Structure 1
């Protein structure tokens, strides 16, 4: 293997790891965003915000595309990087006094460990933590490449999506293309009380909203008397 081949293979390893990071970041940033935030930014922002909205509205499709992208880049990464790294490690293992019959196998094992570790740390964990920490900013960067990749691999994505949806339906779950942004009454009550404590919501308004939300959990029979139990007087009595 020539020096040029080694350099090109290592460069490919770096680019593929970056590609894995893009797909991982797209997956986590899109799922971390709420629909209301995405729609608001799309109305007031630029083309990147509209691209984020486009990706978010077809979430299950984009997640399938991201998974396929991660699988492709990691597989090619192993194919390119392991032989090159093993070739670079072999002389060092030989010089360390390792038996000749063990050098090749040990070099390949170490190469696999190194390539997998680099891909996992820089291609997955770093991208994942970044996407969770700043989902909107991350989504603005990666949504475009993610949408383009998904468009290019539409047939394969539709196939995998169809199989996944079929499995979900067999277990009684209804697949969804985007995350629900609805809040439960308990979450809304907590949000109202927190806002009142921080001073961002008027106390009287907070009490009214709080009571209104709690009122929704009651039945009419708790406040009304059945007609059969009503005692009345004649108007002329």
Structure 2
């Protein structure tokens, strides 16, 4: 064994490390970051970006890496056995007294273990870690060696990819492959949590991103103003009375109906009334100022409702149930509040729908708080693992377990917690007090 032997071994390990780093770097690189570098004039980034945007080229690139890894590993094993293995076998045969066959078998085993361990550590784990931590930089630095490899391995790539595609089709599996990162909303939510825990996102930023993801899964009925809380104007009332109600209302848009709230005819904007009065003419009737109203099903998801409101340039919409009955009112402010949190307003006060810790250790939660937020809050507090059920709010969840409309203050024991209905607005549960139960407490409802 000469001095060239260890040098060749090191070279083959470095070649393997190059292909490993190139594969993990290109798969892990964010196209947006590469595109930013390309716009700044980085030619390597522009070349890598073309590969990332072309599924077929990306597939060939990964195939070249895999061929390079396989060939370098096989050559390293064969070369090591032909040089290090033979030299070590002669050494063991001479100095250990083993039979020649046993000495060479032991030498082959030692050589295989040594080269495998060295290859895994230096040629696999280290370059993989570096590539995952610095994917964009590694992809740029390995671009030219991989481009030469693509030319060198082109016949093998076509042959092997074609053979693999043929076998996949025989198995009934699509041969179309894509190495792009495609994540479900749940996976994106997990990535946001990990970024927040890693210090890359602040709590408020991560919360806003998570709320944006929920728009496609939550229904508009979770954000709406319930029918019983809608402030409307009955056009059958005298004009002076209507103007007084407009003046006293903290809202700029009010639902307009005739006789019953179940028959809305549109909405009235306070600005239109002010302009009509400022024009100097006598205001005889408000009907001419009524604007058309968008009607949406209450089962619609928030993102779809937002799209329809933007398309129709509507700021508010009424929500109807499956029978066509008025169920609530939705405004753009409600959706923005869901994304950004509570918005201040100089004319009206909207108490935030958030859990509040009381001085005695209990928690006060609004009955209208969405059940998803309640479950997340409970998990963060380590209170309980709740069964969701069919309800969409805390009040609905309690009604499912009470099986009746509560009368006055009543309590419910469930999931190791004591729920006490603190305040009612008619039949609606306004606020709930929550406390931990002692281990000996049993489940049930108390009047």
1:121-160 alignment, distance < 5 Å: 121-160=121-160
- Which string of whole-angstrom CA distances, capped at 9 and with x for unpartnered residues, describes residues 26-83 of structure 1? 1111111232223222222522322332443422111111111111111111222222
- Secondary structure of 1:75's partner? helix
Is 2:177 the partner of 1:176?
A: yes
1:34-49 alignment, distance < 5 Å: 34-49=30-45
Greater helix proportion: 1
- Secondary structure of 1:176's partner? coil
Partner of 2:23: 27
Give the direction of change, closer, same or farther, for the CA distance of 1:216–1:172 in structure 2 (3 Å limit).
Answer: farther
CA distance in 1, matches of 2:79, 2:157: 25
Is 2:71 the partner of 1:72?
A: yes
Report which stretch shifted further, 29-38 or 68-77: 29-38
CA distance in 2, matches of 1:207, 1:63: 33
1:199 shift after superposition: 4.8
Partner of 2:47: 51
Partner of 2:380: none
CA distance in 1, matches of 2:50, 2:121: 29
1:149 shift after superposition: 0.4
RMSD of aligned alpha carbons: 3.5
Partner of 1:234: none
Greater strand proportion: 2
CA distance in 2, matches of 1:112, 1:21: 18
1:166 shift after superposition: 3.7
Q: TM-score, length-normalised on structure 2? A: 0.43
- Which string of whole-angstrom CA distances, capped at 9 and with x for unpartnered residues, describes residues 167-196 of structure 1? 445434362344045x54455667499698
- Secondary structure of 1:153's partner? helix
Q: TM-score, length-normalised on structure 1? A: 0.75
1:108 shift after superposition: 2.3
Give the direction of change, closer, same or farther, for the CA distance of 1:162–1:36 in structure 2 (3 Å limit).
Answer: farther
CA contact (8 A) 1:196 1:206 kept: no
The structure 2 residue matched to 1:16, chosen from 12, 31, 51, is 12
CA distance in 2, matches of 1:65, 1:45: 27
1:215 shift after superposition: 5.1
CA distance in 2, matches of 1:207, 1:92: 65
CA distance in 2, matches of 1:217, 1:15: 62
Structure 1: give runs of 5+ residues left out of the alignment: 232-237
Give the direction of change, closer, same or farther, for the CA distance of 1:101–1:76 in structure 2 (3 Å limit).
Answer: closer
Give the direction of change, closer, same or farther, for the CA distance of 1:63–1:216 in structure 2 (3 Å limit).
Answer: farther
How many residue pairs match? The answer is: 223
Give the direction of change, closer, same or farther, for the CA distance of 1:216–1:30 in structure 2 (3 Å limit).
Answer: farther
1:137 shift after superposition: 2.1
Which has the larger Rg?
Answer: 2
CA contact (8 A) 2:30 2:136 kept: no
Partner of 2:291: none
1:151 shift after superposition: 2.4
CA distance in 2, matches of 1:217, 1:163: 51
CA contact (8 A) 2:16 2:123 kept: yes
Give the direction of change, closer, same or farther, for the CA distance of 1:189–1:71 in structure 2 (3 Å limit).
Answer: closer
Structure 2: give runs of 5+ residues left out of the alignment: 222-295, 300-318, 327-447
